Structure 1
Amino acid sequence: MKAILVDDEQLPLLHLQKVLERDIAGIEVIGTYSDPLMALEMVKNLKPNVVFLDINMPGISGLEIGEQLQAYDSPPEIVFVTGYDKYAVEAFELCALDYIMKPVQLNRLQKTIERLRKRLKSDHEVNVEPKPLITIKCFNHLQFQYQDQEPRVIKWRTAKARELFIYLLHHRNRMIDKDTLIELLWPECDLSKGVTQLYTTIYLIRQTLKQHGLEGITITKGNLENGYKLSVDSVQIDVEEWENHASQLSPPSLHNAQVYERILEMYHGDYLGEHEYLWAEYERERLRRLWLQLAKNLSNFYFEQEMIHAAVKVNLLMQSLHPLMDDSYFQLMRLYAMTGNHAAVEEQYDLLASRWEQELDSPVHPDITAWYVAWKRS
């Protein structure tokens, strides 16, 4: 159960966080905010189950924030936490789950959490759209994650069965002509033998899906047996989810920087990176460029704000995932120079020069070298 806490006063905010994390099982505090407008933005992106919300705040009251939260497509439960009881009627008119007086007492908070659990359970039972039970993970390599379990790799009967499944998944919800599939996987076979190989491999895939309880993934044959289509039901795909989140981002700001960081960390490696299928290269490169652009945007924002530690963290992440992209090395050199860490500047330049020479047989970009030489002389 995920919670966000909002209070313009730091002491009550820290106290509530401490009580929730220390004494209440099953609660994860995913954000604490003293700026209510920032909290509104974060709720939209982080989608907590519950928001603990102070009422008396400068600029905008907790009641107004609660009203705006209720207008969201999937509004969180709201628990008002305040030092005054005169707002109780207005709070419950907003359908708030509860209204707690400060200072927050553990036994009172436990009653609120029990009420929250019952409400969430009830909402889940009447929800006509079931939560996806399986996630297909395509970052780096193919994995399947059953609800509340660790991701796992499925053993396929043949390498061709695995590639055909991934190809159909890549083109999900589209009918793929059988000739295209045969040309992709069995180009050396004549048509008759290729058709036999295709039918056999489709059979093996269906058996593997059934064996592992993946009934939400189906492969159907087209009219006149002209091809195959893979469809998913109650299944989510990590790449699809990641791109949906990324597409909703506005330019980096203090209000959404944490959201950027979470989305960058969701990218666990290139799309099907370990499988190295040539037909996936366009999508792999497209997603890689999207991730890098988000990372550069956040890095530049942190750099402009002189948030050195945060900027270093983003660029080290860029470097770990894409060690041949020179942007992160140059940005780290500039950041370390700002802090007077001469050894780290030299280390980054030497590391870049070494990797480019070994992997690309190329010298460092002249602009970076010129900056480095000028810095050494200064």
Structure 2
Amino acid sequence: MITVFADDNESSRRMMKMVMNSIDPMGSHYFAENAAKAIDLVAEHNPDVLFLDIEMPGLSGIEAANHLKQVQPELNVIFVTGHPEYARDALRLYCSGFIEKPYDEYDVLEALKHLRYPLKQAISPLVVRCEGHFAVFFKGEPFTFKRRLTMELFAYLVYKNGAMCTNGDLLGILWDGDPEKGDHLRQLVKDMRDCFENAGITDIIVKRHGSLGLNTSAYEIKGNTASLNEEFNWV
């Protein structure tokens, strides 16, 4: 996701940078100290979402949004302000959201979930990187499991892209089909489930009729999953 945030207050810009890096660590987020600079950034980067403070020196956020709506009518504009009295003016512009200061990550995430013009890809705090070395990030921080082999199990389920895998499939991938590793496999599955649940991710693992898969809407993929086969040398 590409975003632009304009606010003349430096601490506000730092706050939004922290929030966006947590919500969308792989995105591109740009910051401006005034509305005129924000207009330039919109022209340069064509963002998915523009966050605007309203009361800024020179051009106000309302004036900037009115100008940009004429140029890019489907631009998602979210106003971020400590002045709720501007809500009516914002609604007249058919904005995508109105966040009152002070705000937190939850407020921003909720606004992004209800955009007037939805993003092409859902926003998830869980990001799976398939390019280079396989890695998992949750809210911008590396996400790991207690057992080393659990990461390879998760990588294989990501590679299968939601397809259900039998215990036999997983034993074949991880231990060349050794049936005596059944207890070990159950320990890996428990480790994966427990680590996700401890992070508040309760909808990612799908179990059905002795098979295991992933809910692909619970995470965002960066890169090509086909590269995982080469990285892990699966047959």
TM-score, normalisation: structure 2? 0.48
More helix by share: 1
Larger of the two Rg values belongs to structure? 1
Q: Write 1 or 2 for the structure with the bigger share of strand.
A: 2
